């Protein structure tokens, strides 16, 4: 009777997770039609958590049952569970890093890649040499060096927390994400499963965590530009409100970027190409700013990069990275060449956001005038 009750608890919790993830998928189908690394990682996080919710009751049901088929199910489901749990943690880390605009170093990327490959190889090897777990003659699952995956899974989760706090430290109030929405249900599930043997709470609680992430992203979508994924003009009101709360500690600069001859690109190559240019520019700005700040699409072909510093060298480095990326794109593009006018200015918290935008826009007008004057002069020189 006790075993039946435990199986019932396993079925109930995982069925809850499956239904919750199914509802999330049905309610967010539109999201998965949109491209981008963030959406891809979110889809994979959802997929592997769903697989965990399906595999968990299979593993519990087959455990200890006689026969070759049961043995195959015990081996297969438990091996896949190690992988689905690992990949759930891994894609959560990648999603958070992408959302926070964190730039991985090559060493960091290599460590992550090595860890994932190690996890895959160990599960494959376990079918020949029982390293992680074994199956007894009675088809009962027996743990061996399972703690390797505990280190891997919690290592990914710890890494995601470190990434979050690095971004918060560098970006200040410009970097905001309610990370507790993901971790609190996960911690609750881990504690529950540790205290009450025989239940499977972690997978269902992970589904709750993902639901919280979706809810947070949905509320944030109001302030996102649909085409580029950058923040929209409305978000400036949120920034101004947050800035007023922390006037004394605030040190923020704005970098206004305007795409030269953008109307001509639209006319010569079409709106589709023009949209691709805007998406490219957003990626360039995100890479240039990294953990320091965020990108706001201020108007059709204008972006403001807000960075959490007034240090002139840091601002100059961001501008240099923008120009370097543009040069790299232009090297491989034979159709059109991208150029920008860029100006920067420190944000004065005693003034309104509208005042800041007006001041930096006036600076941009001077930059544009200088650019087109120089362009006309160059044409006269070439034709003269």
For the stretch 310-349, pLDDT in tens is 888 999 999 999 999 888 887 776 677 888 889 999 888 7
Q: In terms of pTM, does the model score above 0.85?
A: yes
More confident residue, 302 or 374: 302
Q: What is the pLDDT of residue 4?
A: 39
Give Cα 239 to chain centroid, integer Å: 21
Beta strands 302-307; 253-259: pairing state: antiparallel
Q: What is the pLDDT of residue 5?
A: 41
Burial of 66 (0-12, 13-18, 19+ CB in 10 A): exposed
For the stretch 169-205, pLDDT in tens is 888 888 888 889 899 988 888 887 766 656 677 888 8
Mean pLDDT calculated for residue range 268-295: 89
User: Bridge-partner residues for 133, per DSSP?
Assistant: 143
* DSSP output for 4-53: HHHHHHHHHHHHHHHHHHHHHHHHTGGGGGS-SHHHHHHHHHHHHHHHHH
Q: Please, what are the domains in the chain? A: 2-223 (1.20.1070.10), 235-383 (3.30.70.270)
More confident residue, 369 or 89: 89
């Amino acid at each position: 009777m006790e075993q039946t009750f435990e199986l019932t608890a396993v079925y109930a919790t995982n069925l809850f997770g499956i239904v919750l993830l199914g509802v999330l998928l049905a309610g967010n189908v539109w999201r998965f039609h949109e491209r981008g690394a963030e959406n891809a990682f979110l889809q994979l996080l959802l997929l592997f958590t769903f697989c965990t919710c399906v595999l968990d009751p299979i593993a519990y049901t087959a455990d200890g049952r006689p026969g070759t088929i049961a043995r195959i199910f015990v081996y297969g489901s438990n091996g896949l569970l190690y992988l689905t749990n690992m990949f759930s943690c891994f894609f959560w880390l990648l999603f958070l890093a992408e959302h926070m605009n964190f730039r991985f170093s090559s060493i960091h990327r290599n460590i992550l890649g090595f860890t994932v490959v190690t996890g895959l190889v160990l599960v494959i090897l376990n079918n020949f040499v029982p390293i992680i777990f074994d199956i007894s003659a009675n088809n009962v699952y027996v743990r061996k060096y399972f703690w390797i995956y505990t280190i891997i899974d919690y290592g990914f989760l710890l890494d995601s927390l470190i990434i979050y706090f690095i971004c918060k430290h560098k970006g200040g109030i410009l970097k905001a994400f309610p990370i507790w929405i993901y971790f609190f249900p996960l911690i609750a599930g881990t504690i529950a499963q540790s205290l009450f043997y025989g239940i499977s709470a972690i997978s269902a609680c992970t589904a709750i965590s993902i639901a919280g992430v979706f809810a947070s992203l949905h509320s944030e979508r109001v302030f996102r530009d649909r085409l580029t994924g950058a923040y929209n003009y409305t978000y400036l009101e949120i920034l101004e409100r947050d800035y007023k709360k922390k006037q004394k500690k605030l040190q923020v600069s704005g970098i206004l970027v305007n795409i030269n001859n953008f109307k001509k690109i639209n006319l010569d190559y079409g709106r589709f190409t023009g949209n691709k240019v805007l998406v490219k520019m957003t990626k360039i700005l995100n890479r240039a700013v990294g953990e320091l700040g965020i990108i706001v699409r201020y108007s059709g072909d204008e972006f403001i990069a807000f960075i959490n510093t007034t240090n002139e060298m840091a601002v100059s480095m961001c501008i240099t990275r923008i120009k370097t990326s543009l040069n790299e794109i232009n090297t491989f593009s034979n159709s059109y060449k991208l150029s920008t006018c860029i100006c920067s200015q420190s944000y004065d918290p005693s003034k309104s956001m509208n005042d800041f935008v007006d001041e930096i826009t006036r600076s941009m007008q001077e930059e544009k005038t200088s650019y087109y004057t120089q362009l006309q002069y160059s044409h006269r020189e070439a034709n003269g």
